[in-house]
A = this chain, B = another copy of it.
Amino acid sequence: MREPTFMILTALAGEPLHGYGLITEVARLSDGRVSLRPGTLYGALDRLVDAGLVAVEREEVVDGRLRRYYRLAEGGADLLAAETERMRRNVAAATARLKTRTHRGAPRLSGGTA
């Protein structure tokens, strides 16, 4: 799973949101790192609804503007949890490898200077 999709599921794990609300919420919870574009968002939502990972909660009309609220389905929460755990392990592996590197010059291998 790619980052935009991951952040959409994460945002919906908190509460149901409509598309535009997702754009602002994802920007907020990522401290501005992830800026969702319309083409990405609505494409992803269609895909996620199609896969049964996200469902349309309800639709509202406010000031003549449609708001379509999406909620995380059970399968979506399970997938997000699995994906989070997978990433956690990858992060742990990368962190461990990066720590073994000397911070100046090449990494010391088993032989050392012997």
CA distance A6 to B14 in the complex (A): 28
Whether A98 contacts B77 in the complex (CB less than 8 A), given A14-B107, A15-B109, A107-B14, comes out as: yes
Tally of contact residues, A, Cβ under 8 A: 34
Chain copies in the assembled complex: 2
- On A, residues with C-beta under 8 Å from B are 2-3, 6-7, 9-11, 13-15, 29-31, 33, 77, 80-81, 83-84, 86-91, 93-95, 97-98, 100-101, 107, 109
A77 to chain B, nearest CB (A): 7
Interface pairs A-B: 5 shortest CB-CB: A13-B97, A10-B94, A84-B94, A14-B97, A29-B93
Whether the pair A81, B98 counts as a contact (CB closer than 8 A) is yes
